[in-house]
Structure formats: C-alpha cells, structure tokens
C-alpha cells in the first residue's frame, strides 16, 4: 500500500487538468489531490491511475474517470458532516473522495465481490464511511434517511422513487439518467412534493441494476 512523492506529483497534475476542464470546487480538488487513486485499481493499471480515464475493477464494473467523480462531487455541494448516500460503492474511490470532503458517507453496493474488497481496503487507508452495506441501491437506506445529498454512480433509466423520498428538503440528488448514454441530472428537493431538475450533458456509466447480484 505505497503512496509515494511520484504519486502525489501525478495527482497534482490531475488536479490541474480537472481545473482546466472546469472543476472549481476547492473541497473537491483538495480531496482528489489527497486520495491515492492507484490503490483503488488493479495493480496492472497502476501506471495509468492518474490519467483522466475509467478502468475495469472486476464484477463487470468500472472506476469512473476522475473528471466524472469530480463533476458529480461538485454538484453535491458537500459541507462538512453532511450525510451523503452513495448508490454504488464500486471501487470505493468516490466514497473516499466524499469522505475526504468531510461527508458522513453511507454507501450501498450490490456486487458482493466489490463490497468485500472495499470493506477490507478502507480501514487500511484510514477511510471510515459511517455505513457500508451490501444490497439493492434502488431501495436506498430508509433506516438512515433523510440524507443531505444522494449520489448515484451508475446509469439509471429512471430516478428510483425511494431515493427521492430519502432526500432532505433542500437536499441534492445527482444521478446519470438514461440507457446507453446518460444525462447527468441534479434534483433539488424544494418541499415534500416538488423537485427542481437541472441537466448537465452526456456521460457514460455502467447500468444501475435492480434486485440482482
């Protein structure tokens, strides 16, 4: 589990690239400069870990490209101690970024192989999510709701109703919507029944699967 000065240099370059691509949230950029992304990847990809690319991580899933992680994180507008629900722990990299941003992270993963991996990895890196669970992300985590914000890290054909219900008034839900290509979508909960919707262009994600493992 080595994190060297060379890795830090590569992270600094990545942060500069993300700034050029329009990421301005200092909290997001600081988190990306801190988190050793190479430790979340299969070691055969280590040399490429700080390129702005997605990579396979097993179980048919990918680690999102850093720009996507930064973009979604920026849309959340995380404040210290915000309760954030993450649907799709995956490699754990997005979880780690949110944790570094000061969030209390509750994360759900439906692939047992990935759930087991992150459960072992986080303690080694000193990353302490509030709650990690193995289950169906479509259902959210009603026992821990409501959340200040919710992030979905897989493409979804619709916005799952339980996730909308688990968002605080004033809370933000960031989800890539669509089948083959997704539109990054932000919902802001205005009151018990109303949500304000914003769209931010096309991204590509692996699909969010319901009731499967």
Answer yes or no: are the C-beta atoms of 154 and 140 closer than 8 Å. no
pTM of the model: 0.94
pLDDT at 212: 44
Identify which has the larger pLDDT, 5 or 44: 5
- pLDDT tens-digit profile of 81-118? 999 999 999 999 999 999 999 999 999 999 999 999 99
Mean pLDDT, rounded, of the chain: 92
What lies within 8 Å, CB to CB, of 185 at 6+ separation is 159, 174, 175, 176, 177, 197, 198, 199, 200
> HEC states along 141-166?
CHHHCCEEEEEECCEECCCCHHHHHC
Find, among 106, 127, 103, the residue nearest to 3 by Cα: 127
Q: What is the mean pLDDT of residues 23-48?
A: 92
Question: Is residue 208 scored above 80 in pLDDT?
Answer: no
Question: Quick one: CA dihedral 135, 109, 101, 35, positive or negative?
Answer: positive
Active site residues: 64
What lies within 8 Å, CB to CB, of 189 at 6+ separation is 164, 167, 168, 169, 170, 171, 172, 173, 195
- pLDDT tens-digit profile of 18-33? 999 999 999 999 999 9
Answer yes or no: are the C-beta atoms of 117 and 98 closer than 8 Å. no
Report the first-to-last Cα separation within the chain, whole angstroms.
29
Question: In the block, which residue shows the tokens 């802001």?
Answer: 188
DSSP code of 22? Answer: T
Four-point Cα dihedral 206, 109, 60, 153, nearest 10? 20
């Amino acid at each position: 589990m080595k994190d060297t000065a060379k890795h830090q240099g590569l992270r600094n370059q990545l942060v500069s690239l993300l700034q050029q691509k329009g990421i301005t949230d200092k909290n997001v950029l600081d988190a990306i400069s801190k988190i050793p992304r190479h430790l979340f990847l299969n070691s055969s990809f280590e040399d490429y870990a700080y390129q702005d690319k997605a990579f396979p991580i097993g179980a048919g899933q990918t680690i999102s490209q850093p720009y996507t992680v930064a973009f979604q994180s920026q849309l959340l507008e995380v404040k210290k101690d915000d309760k954030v629900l993450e649907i799709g722990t995956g490699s754990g990299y997005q979880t780690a970024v949110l944790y570094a941003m000061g969030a209390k992270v509750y994360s759900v993963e439906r692939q047992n192989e990935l759930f087991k991996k992150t459960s072992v990895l986080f303690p080694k890196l000193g990353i302490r999510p509030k709650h990690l669970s193995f289950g169906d992300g479509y259902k959210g985590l009603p026992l821990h709701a409501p959340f200040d914000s919710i992030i979905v890290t897989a493409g979804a054909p619709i916005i799952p109703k339980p996730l909308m219900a688990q968002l605080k008034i004033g809370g933000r839900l960031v989800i890539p919507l669509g089948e083959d290509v997704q539109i990054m979508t932000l919902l802001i909960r205005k009151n018990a029944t109303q949500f304000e919707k914003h769209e931010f262009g096309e991204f590509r994600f692996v699909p969010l699967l319901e009731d499967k493992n």
